[in-house]
Amino acid sequence: MKHILLTLAAAACAVSSHAQIAQVTSTERLLAGVESEMYYPILNEDGSRVLFSACNYKGLRMYDFNDGVTVKISDEERAGFDASFTHDGRSVYYVSQKKVDGLNMRQVKQYDIEDKTVTALTPMGRKVSRPVALNDGMIVKVDGKSHGAVSGDDVTVRIEGSKLYIGHGGTEKAYSPVESYAGYLWASVSPDKTKVMFFAAGKGIYIVDLQGNVVSELGNYEAPVWYGNDCVVAMNAKHNGYQHISSQIVMMRADGSEFQELTRPESMTMNPSASIHSGKIVYNTIDGRLYQMNITLK
């Protein structure tokens, strides 16, 4: 018990020394005593709301920093896996999953935050890509068929195995900038829509331009997210083959020039989400506690 308490205390304490990129101004636990089992936080652009799910991505809940209220968006399987806010922040896209005749079927849904209503955006399918929020709506592939339409200034990215599909100017091209047998994960477009970041399993985080050229290599960290156009926040987890033995939140310059530990390795902190507009980074601990860290860029 003592060990656990120390671990949790460490989770709450950011690493404040030798900060090169940002200064951590405060760290606080969210929804203590109110909610539990909170994983995979997703902040909206202005940092006023955060989505979170269960450890196995079952269900989706949203916490509003302004009114302190948590609402349940979905109880469905996998709802937290591919969730995102719409571009205007008024809705949430997510993918639900349920068994139909013994097979997992998935469907893209939209939750209207104000009306608290859910709308199915696609038919159910076996293969459903991650819905990508666009300037207007979203685009997703369901069993090979696209749903939604991109406009000329939309920049999109999606992954199939070890292929990165970057779309802009109305066209989409496949790239394999880095060899990775296991595949790519955590692809995202920078806020200024000039770069794409992804994680190559076994290799690490890479940033490419919109033509798939590698512009920086950030190291073998997981779950990277953008903090503005110039910084990246990720998790640095180690394991012994069976369980995690350390995990921390780290920050780095997008050009790879600087690196900073935001939490200690023993804090077992994971799955960061970030909003440069609010100066917030939200992450969870391995036992499902949610923390908010406030930072100021140097």
Partner 1 sequence: MKMKKINALLISGLTALSSLAVEPSDLIIYINPGHGGYDSDDRVINLYPFADGDTSTFAESKSNLGKGFRLRELLWEKGYNVVMSRVTNTTADDLGLTTIGRLANAAEADLFLSIHSNATGTANRVNFPIIFFRGYDNEPVYPEAKVWATEIDNHLLTNNATIWTSTNTNVRGDWSFQPSWGTQGYGVLRALTLPGALSEGSFHDYIPEAYRLLSSHYYWVEGWNFSKAVNEHFGIAGVDYGGIAGRVNDERVLRTGDYKMFQEDLLAPVNGAVVELWDASGTTKIEECVTDELYNGMYSFRKVAPGTYKLKYSSPIHYADECDVTIEADKITYVNPKLKKVRSTPPVVLSYSPVWSEGADSVLCNEPIVLNFNWDMDVESTEAAFSIEPAVEGTFTWEDQNYRMVFTPNDTYATSTKYTVKLATSAQHAGGMAMESPVEFSFITTNRNYMEITGLFPNEGDPVHYDGASIEVRFDKYPNVTPILDQIKCYDSTGATVGLLKRGMKYSKTGDEYGYFRIPFIKDLTIGETYTLELSNAIADKDGITLKESVSLKFNAVDAGEAKSDPSIETMEDASLYSQNDDGCVNLVSSAVTLSTGLFDKCVSFAYEFVGTEGGEAMWQRSSLAELSATSADALGVHVYGDLTGNEVYLQMTSETDVKYAKLCDMTFLGWRYIVVPLTMLEGVNAYKVSGVKITQDASMISRKGAVMLDNVNLIANGAGIESVTSDDSALTIYPNPASEYLISSADGIIDCIELVSMSGQVVARAEGNVLNVSEVAEGSYLARVFKSGGYIVKKVVISH
Residues that bind partner 1 (CB under 8 A): 4, 55-58, 77-78, 81, 97, 99, 101-104, 106, 126-128, 159, 181-183, 185-186, 199, 201-203, 222-223, 235, 237, 239-244, 270-271, 286-287
Contacts with 167 (C-beta within 8 Å, 6 or more apart), sequence order: 150, 154, 155, 156, 157, 158, 173
**CB neighbours of residue 201 within 10 Å:** 15
DSSP assignment of 87-133 equals TTSSEEEEEEEEEETTEEEEEEEEEETTTTEEEE-S--BS-BPPPEE
CB of 57 to partner 1, least distance (A): 5
Half-sphere exposure of 41 (CA within 13 A, CB side): 36
Nearest to 8 by CA among 237, 294, 264, 196: 264
Question: Whose Cβ is closer to partner 1: residue 66's or residue 243's?
Answer: 243
Contact criterion met (CB below 8 Å) for 42 and 84: yes
CB of 204 to partner 1, least distance (A): 9
Residue type, 31: L
CB of 22 to partner 1, least distance (A): 24
CB of 99 to partner 1, least distance (A): 7
Question: Whose Cβ is closer to partner 1: residue 66's or residue 242's?
Answer: 242
Cα(236)–Cα(234) distance, integer angstroms? 7
Residue type, 216: S
CB of 201 to partner 1, least distance (A): 5
CB of 207 to partner 1, least distance (A): 18
